[in-house]
C-alpha cells in the first residue's frame, strides 16, 4: 500500500476512534455535574452555537460523551473545559430536533476518572432568530468609557460591532431598538457633544434633533410601531443617585416623564394631553402587536428624594389609531402593581399578541440594580398574571425581549455574580410555560468571567444589522433634522 495513503487511513481510524472513545470511570457519582454555564436540562433551538462548558470542581482533565436518540454521537476531551466541534454539534442537533440529547461528563482528579450521572438537553423544533444585538458597557457611573452596540450570530460565536462610541470620543451610544426584530428599522441614540437620534428606515438613515418646545428632553426610551411608521418614546428628566445602604449601589430616577409618539413619515411629534400630566410619571411605552394599543408605565408623581421609595408604576394602556395618528380618550390600568406594593417596568408585548412580559420590582422604574426584580407574564385575554419562576433567580432579572415567533425570549440577569448583567435565553411553549434558561454560549466558557462589561438591552434580530459608518459619521457632524410638532 502507498505509504501516504496508509498514513492517511491510519489518521482517519484514530480520529474516528477518538470520536467514540469512552472513559472507563474509577468512580461514578449519582448526581449530575455542577457546570458553568449550567446547561443541564435546558431547552435550546436547533441552530444554537455549541454549549461549551466547564465543571466547577478541580480537575486535570475533562471528558464528555454526547448521544442522540438513535445512539449516534461523539465524545470530546480537554484539560480545562469541553469545546464541542461546531459541525458535529450542528449535525447532531439537526438529527434530534423535537427530541433530546444526552451528555455524560467525567473529570480526572488525582489520576482517577470520576463520572457523573448524565443529563439531557431538549432541542425544540421552534426556530429562533438569526442573532442578538446588545450594548457592552462597563458598570461605571461617572464618565463614558469605551462602549458599543454589537451583534452576535446565535449559530456561531461571531460578534461584530454595529456602532462604537469611538466614532465620537466621549459620547454614549444607547437605546437601540428594532421593529419586530427587523434591523432594517433601527433606532440608536448618540448622547454627547455631537449627539442625536440615529434613525434607519430601509436604506435611509437620518439624524434627528428631537427636543421640542413641549417636551422635557430629547427622546429617550423607544419602541417601534409594527408598521414601522411610528415610534413611541418617553421623554424624561432623569437623575442618577447613589445609596449609602450596603448592598445597594445606584438608582436611576425620573423627576418628571411623559410619553409621545413620533410620526416617522411626516417627521412629527404627536402629543396626547393625558400622557403629559405633571401629576403623573409616564414612561417605557410599547405598542401592541396589532399597533392599536399603546402600553406604558404610570405612577403618581412623588417628591424626590423623600418619597422615592413610594414611586410605584402600574401598567396602563391607551388606544391608538395608526390610520389617523390619533389617541383614544380613556386610560385603562392593565395591571395594578401598586395595589400589591410593587412597580412595573419594561412591558414587552409578544409579537403574537398573546402575552405581555414585564419586570416587577419593589419601587421605581429602573430595575437593573434591584435584586428583587423578577419577570412576570400577563395573559392579555384572560388577565392572568404569574411570576416566571422557572427563569427567575434571587438576583436581578430585568430587560427582556421576544423572538419574532414569540417562542423564545432573552433577558438580562445578574444571577452569576450580582454585578454584571449577562444574557439568558429561554423557550416558551404553546401554553405559556417557560423552559430553563441558558446563558448565551461562548467559545471559551470562561469568557463571561473574564469580560469586564455588562450586556445591556439584548434584542433579537432576524438578520445582520447593516449600518454605514461613513454615513453615520457624516450625519453626526451636522445639526441633524429638527423634528416638528403637531399643533
Give 28-67 as a DSSP string.
E-SSPP-EES--TT-EEETTPPP--BEESS--SEEEEEEE
Same domain? 141 vs 92:
no
Identify the band that residue 442 occupies on the pLDDT scale cut at 50, 70 and 90: very high
Same domain? 215 vs 102:
no
- Tally of domains in the chain: 2
Please say whether the beta carbons of 89 and 75 come within 8 A. Answer: no
pLDDT in tens, 157-202: 999 999 999 888 878 899 999 999 999 999 999 988 888 999 999 9
Residue 2 lies in a domain: no
Instruction: Print the domain residue range for 111.
Output: 23-124
Task: Tell me the mean pLDDT in the region 120-132.
Answer: 98
Same domain? 466 vs 379:
yes
Residue 40 has pLDDT above 50, yes or no: yes
Same domain? 90 vs 209:
no
Please say whether the beta carbons of 302 and 308 come within 8 A. Answer: yes
d(CA 287, CA 347) in angstroms, rounded, equals 10
Residue 60 lies in a domain: yes
Residue-averaged pLDDT of the chain: 91
Please say whether the beta carbons of 372 and 258 come within 8 A. Answer: no
The three cell numbers locating residue 372 = 428583587
d(CA 456, CA 453) in angstroms, rounded, equals 9
Same domain? 149 vs 236:
yes
Residue 8 lies in a domain: no
More confident residue, 487 or 236: 236
Position 247 scores a pLDDT of 56
Identify the band that residue 246 occupies on the pLDDT scale cut at 50, 70 and 90: low
d(CA 401, CA 375) in angstroms, rounded, equals 11
d(CA 46, CA 380) in angstroms, rounded, equals 29
CA-to-CA separations, 483 to 213, 417, 479, in angstroms, rounded: 11, 43, 12
Q: Which residue has the cell 478541580?
A: 58
- Out of 124, 145, 177, a domain closes at 124
CATH number at residue 263: 2.120.10.30
Q: Which residues partner with 461 through β-bridges?
A: 131
Same domain? 118 vs 164:
no
More confident residue, 146 or 487: 146
Same domain? 204 vs 344:
yes
d(CA 57, CA 174) in angstroms, rounded, equals 39
Percent of the chain exceeding pLDDT 90 equals 79
Q: Which residue has the cell 423634528?
A: 483
Beta strands in 343-453 (DSSP E): 343-349, 355-361, 374-379, 385-387, 397-402, 408-413, 422-427, 438-439
Question: Rounded to two decimals, what is the model's pTM?
Answer: 0.93
Percent of the chain exceeding pLDDT 70 equals 92
Buried b (16+ CB within 10 A) or exposed e, 194-213: bbbbbbbbeeebebbebebe
Amino acid at each position: 500500500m502507498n505509504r501516504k495513503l496508509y498514513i492517511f487511513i491510519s489518521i482517519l481510524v484514530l480520529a474516528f476512534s477518538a470520536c467514540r472513545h469512552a472513559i472507563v470511570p474509577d468512580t461514578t457519582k449519582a448526581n449530575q455535574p455542577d457546570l458553568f454555564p449550567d446547561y443541564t436540562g435546558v431547552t435550546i433551538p436547533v441552530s444554537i452555537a455549541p454549549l461549551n462548558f466547564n465543571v466547577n470542581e478541580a480537575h486535570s482533565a475533562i471528558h464528555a460523551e454526547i448521544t442522540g436518540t438513535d445512539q449516534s454521537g461523539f465524545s470530546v476531551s480537554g484539560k480545562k473545559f469541553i469545546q464541542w466541534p461546531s459541525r458535529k454539534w450542528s449535525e447532531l442537533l439537526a438529527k434530534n430536533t423535537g427530541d433530546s440529547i444526552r451528555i455524560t461528563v467525567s473529570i480526572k482528579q488525582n489520576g482517577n476518572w470520576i463520572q457523573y450521572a448524565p443529563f439531557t438537553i431538549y432541542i425544540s423544533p421552534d426556530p429562533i432568530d438569526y442573532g442578538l444585538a446588545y450594548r457592552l458597557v462597563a458598570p461605571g457611573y461617572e464618565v463614558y468609557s469605551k462602549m458599543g452596540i454589537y451583534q452576535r450570530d446565535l449559530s456561531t460565536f461571531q460578534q461584530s460591532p454595529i456602532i462604537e462610541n469611538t466614532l465620537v470620543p466621549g459620547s454614549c451610544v444607547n437605546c437601540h431598538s428594532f421593529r419586530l426584530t427587523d434591523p432594517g428599522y433601527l433606532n440608536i441614540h448618540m448622547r454627547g457633544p455631537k449627539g442625536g437620534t440615529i434613525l434607519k428606515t430601509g436604506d435611509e438613515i437620518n439624524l434627528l434633533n428631537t427636543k421640542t418646545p413641549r417636551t422635557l428632553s430629547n427622546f429617550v426610551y423607544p419602541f417601534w410601531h409594527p408598521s414601522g411608521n411610528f415610534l413611541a418614546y418617553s421623554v424624561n428628566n432623569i437623575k442618577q443617585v447613589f445609596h449609602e445602604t450596603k448592598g445597594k449601589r445606584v438608582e436611576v430616577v425620573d423627576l418628571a416623564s411623559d410619553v409621545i409618539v413620533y410620526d416617522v413619515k411626516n417627521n412629527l411629534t404627536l402629543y396626547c394631553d393625558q400622557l403629559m400630566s405633571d401629576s403623573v410619571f409616564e414612561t417605557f411605552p410599547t405598542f401592541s402587536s396589532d399597533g392599536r394599543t399603546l402600553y406604558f408605565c404610570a405612577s403618581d408623581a412623588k417628591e424626590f428624594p423623600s418619597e422615592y421609595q413610594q414611586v410605584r408604576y402600574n401598567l396602563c394602556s391607551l388606544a391608538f389609531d395608526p390610520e389617523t395618528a390619533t389617541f383614544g380618550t380613556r386610560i385603562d390600568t392593565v395591571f395594578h402593581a401598586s395595589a400589591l406594593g410593587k412597580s412595573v417596568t419594561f412591558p414587552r408585548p409578544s409579537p403574537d399578541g398573546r402575552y405581555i412580559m414585564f419586570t416587577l420590582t419593589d419601587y421605581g422604574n429602573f430595575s437593573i440594580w434591584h435584586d428583587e426584580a423578577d419577570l412576570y407574564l400577563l395573559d392579555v385575554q384572560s388577565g392572568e398574571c404569574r411570576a416566571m419562576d422557572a427563569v427567575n433567580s434571587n438576583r436581578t432579572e430585568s430587560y427582556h425581549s421576544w423572538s419574532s415567533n414569540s417562542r423564545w425570549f432573552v433577558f438580562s440577569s445578574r444571577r452569576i455574580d450580582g454585578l454584571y448583567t449577562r444574557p439568558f435565553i429561554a423557550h416558551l411553549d404553546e401554553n405559556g410555560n417557560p423552559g430553563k434558561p441558558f446563558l448565551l454560549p461562548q467559545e471559551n466558557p470562561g469568557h463571561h468571567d473574564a469580560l469586564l462589561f455588562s450586556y445591556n438591552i439584548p434584542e433579537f434580530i432576524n438578520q445582520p444589522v447593516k449600518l454605514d459608518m461613513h454615513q453615520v459619521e457624516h450625519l453626526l457632524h451636522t445639526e441633524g433634522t429638527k423634528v416638528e410638532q403637531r399643533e
